[in-house]
Homo-oligomer: A and B are copies of this chain.
Amino acid sequence: MAMVCLSDFEAYAKKYLPKIAWDYFAAGADDCTTRDENILAYKRIRFRPRMLRDVSVMDIRTKILGSEISFPVGIAPTGFHQLAWPDGEKSTARAARAMNTCYIASTYSTCTLEEISAAAPGGLRWFQLYIHRNRAASRRLVRRAEALGFQGLVLTADLPYTGKRRDDIRNGFRLPPHMKVKNLEGAFEVCKMSPLDPSVTWNDIYWLRSLTRLPIIIKGILTREDAELAVKHGVQGIIVSNHGGRQLDEGPATIDALVEVVEAVGGRVEVYVDGGIRKGSDVLKALALGAKCVFIGRPALWGLAYKGEEGLQDVLRILQDEFRLSMALAG
């Protein structure tokens, strides 16, 4: 089976992953409308290709918050990479470093931050976090990440509660016994309540600011009003995201929301986008609409499922080649 485009990796993962893992990665909230809209919205956007421009040399490197990456595609935070590949997030970190791009490690990793750092020293990494009811636990995570050389903190704003993913409920999804959310081990007492704090508000950005000198990137913004609030509260970056369509169903596709966020921000902070990226030309569209960089979620997991570190590199390399070709053909 030739791996020619990202859909090939998707088909592979669907075929070879355990159903419960595939369903977890694929899940969208409710009717999965927003999950699918993320992709469909890209297809509705049309290029106006220009001809006879010298495209013999193209520089596709970019900088995000001052750090150079080899091309404008990073790894979005997703949980439980060991469900896709035994080495889990360690493989992800190695692949990202090999391709010289940014990896946002999730709080819900199956490896510790320390293991991730040790697996690929020197790689560009940000750390994704939630604000927990137990603020001391959040504080400890921030300090660990900062001490380990993570270069950004990504605060997820769209998960006061977990969205309703029907297949996960039907499957009774839970991690297999040999996997753990290692970053949080010992941090919480076993309790029935979700450890995440649904009372978090914009003022908690100031609290987070007080804990760290790292840049803060807020993830989950979909409206101009919230983009304005984010800038006002001093974040350094915004990731336009609907959590892969896993939270509130029937909100906007991220590429559509990007337009109004970019306009509201007016260049004051960097804006990124995730959700629905499946081809190099999608990357080009996102950049043309004002994103500084995009992040891929599920495609990274498919790459891991295919061949771990190597498979994820394949995915990134295909996106890179397609992105470069799209740029050339679009002039």
Contact = CB atoms under 8 A, between A and B. Distances in A.
A52 B201 contact: yes
A164 B200 contact: no
Contact of A161 (B51, B164, B328): B328
Interface string A308-322: 000000000000001
A15 interface: no
A48 B253 CA distance: 11
Copies in the complex: 4
Q: By CB atoms of chain B within 10 A, which of A169, A248, A279 has the most? A: A248
B5 A281 contact: no
B166 A330 contact: no
A211 B212 CA distance: 67
Contact of A250 (B46, B53, B170): B46
A185 interface: no
A251 interface: yes
B4 A161 contact: no
Given A52-B202, A166-B5, A169-B2, A329 B248 contact: yes
A3 B70 CA distance: 48
A43 B34 CA distance: 10
Contact of A164 (B164, B166, B199, B322): B322
A52 B157 contact: yes
Nearest to A249: B281
A293 B18 CA distance: 43
Interface in A223-273: 223, 225-226, 229, 242, 247-252
A interface bracket (residues with beta carbon within 8 Å of B):
35 or more
B279 A30 contact: yes
B33 A5 contact: no
A49 B329 contact: no
Q: By CB atoms of chain B within 10 A, which of A49, A52, A169, A248 has the most? A: A52
- The 10 closest A-B CB pairs, nearest first, are A56-B199, A248-B329, A51-B157, A56-B198, A54-B199, A47-B251, A49-B251, A4-B166, A2-B170, A49-B248
Given A5-B164, A54-B198, 16 more contacts: A4-B166, A31-B43, A43-B250, A48-B251, A49-B251, A50-B226, A51-B158, A52-B157, A52-B200, A52-B229, A53-B201, A54-B200, A54-B201, A55-B161, A160-B329, A164-B325
Interface of A: 2, 4-5, 30-31, 33, 43, 45-57, 157-158, 160-161, 163-164, 166, 169-170, 197-202, 204-205, 218, 220-223, 225-226, 229, 242, 247-252, 279, 281, 322, 325-326, 328-330
5 contacts: A2-B170, A33-B43, A47-B251, A249-B281, A251-B330
